[in-house]
Amino acid sequence: MLKILFYDAKSYDKDSFNRELANFPEIQIDYLKSELGPSTAKLAKGYDAVCAFVSCDVGTETVEILHQSGVGLILMRCAGFNNVDIEKAKACGIRVLRVPGYSPEAVAEHAMALALAANRKIHKAYVRVRENDFSLGGMLGRNFYQKTAGIVGTGKIGAAMARICHGFGMKVIAYDQYQNPSLDFVTYVTMDELLAQSDLISLHCPLTDETYHLISRETIQKMKDGVILVNTSRGGLVKTDDLIEGIRARKFSAVGLDVYEEEKKNVFEDRSDEILESSVTARLLSFPNVVITSHQGFFTQEALAAISQTTLSNAMAYVNKEASVNEVE
């Protein structure tokens, strides 16, 4: 029996993993609410594997403690692994496996939901109608039909978003170093052309040194007046202060953010009882044309099922001493 200690477990994680466990009788999981980090790693003594998420600290110290505790496998139940010291894990003989892709459509559909909500002010309408206020002032939106969608990064999620925009009757243009051959309805352009022509810009490239603060004062100035910006990729792609400046200058008709630079402390936590110290999120939320969600693009039943299925298959690759394409090296 392979014993896994599952960190940072939320109720929806337990539900989807327990459902999938029925297909994996060789695996036992114990769930912990705490995140994996140097202070909680020793709890894994007696377990074969740990399962961690994107916000856990799986750095050098944690990996060393896991090694001393006899853990031989780190299962990341997410695509990203920048929070794992891979070299250290390798040196300790610990295998690290991840879930590279689970449901691109989940994130793309959320990107379109944000674009539509922010454009048609669904967030304001919901509150207004609940107060028996049926007026329409401030609700004016724009058609997407026959407008231009600019997709930055046409990998799995960007391609799904391009297909959705195409289905809305939009002209779809894109910027990527690599052209996706499945997108025959997309015109590839330079980044400057994309900025100048798009009515809706949706970001789907990864966060790298090159893409850090891709959206800044300089690029915002190149955009069309009244553009709609959506970011479901990574907060660091957008320089928040410059975005706020652009919103104040009326550059954007709508902004939808599933990710933002300051999200680390907020993501997946209920902080409704707290007086928040930082003002950037609050400032963004003060604008009537901004909709923010809490890094929930991935959060569909189908994506969670795929995450648990792949994670447990990864665990079986370890049990059976098999190589895996999901190995992080």
Residues forming contacts to ligand NAI in the complex (CB under 6 A) are: 79, 101, 104, 107, 152-158, 175-178, 204-207, 210-211, 232-234, 258-259, 295, 297-298
**Which member of 77, 110, 204, 263 is catalytic?**
263
Q: How far is the CB of 309 from ligand NAI (least distance, A)?
A: 16
DSSP 237: G
Write the CB contacts of 54 (distance below 8 Å, at least 6 apart in sequence): 76, 78, 80, 83
Helix (H) / strand (E) containing 243: helix 240-248
Helix (H) / strand (E) containing 310: helix 301-319
Q: How far is the CB of 82 from ligand NAI (least distance, A)?
A: 10
DSSP string, 135-172: --TT------TT-EEEEE--SHHHHHHHHHHHHTT-EE
Active site residue 204: no
Q: Closer to ligand NAI at the Cβ: 133 or 212?
A: 212
Which residue has its beta carbon closest to ligand NAI? 155
Active site residue 250: no
Cα–Cα distance for residue pair 51/59, rounded to 1 Å: 14
Q: How far is the CB of 93 from ligand NAI (least distance, A)?
A: 29
Write down the number of H helices and E strands in the chain: 11, 12
Q: Closer to ligand NAI at the Cβ: 69 or 300?
A: 300
Active site residue 263: yes
Q: How far is the CB of 125 from ligand NAI (least distance, A)?
A: 24
Q: Closer to ligand NAI at the Cβ: 110 or 251?
A: 110
Q: How would you classify the pairing of strands 73-76 and 95-97?
A: parallel
Q: Closer to ligand NAI at the Cβ: 256 or 297?
A: 297
**Which member of 295, 302, 327, 329 is catalytic?**
295
Q: Closer to ligand NAI at the Cβ: 101 or 226?
A: 101
**Which member of 20, 110, 234, 261 is catalytic?**
234
Q: How far is the CB of 71 from ligand NAI (least distance, A)?
A: 26
Radius of gyration of the chain (CA): 22
What sign does the CA torsion over 165, 170, 174, 178 have?
Answer: positive
Identify the CA nearest to 4 among candidates 306, 302, 311: 311
Positions annotated as catalytic residues are: 234, 263, 295
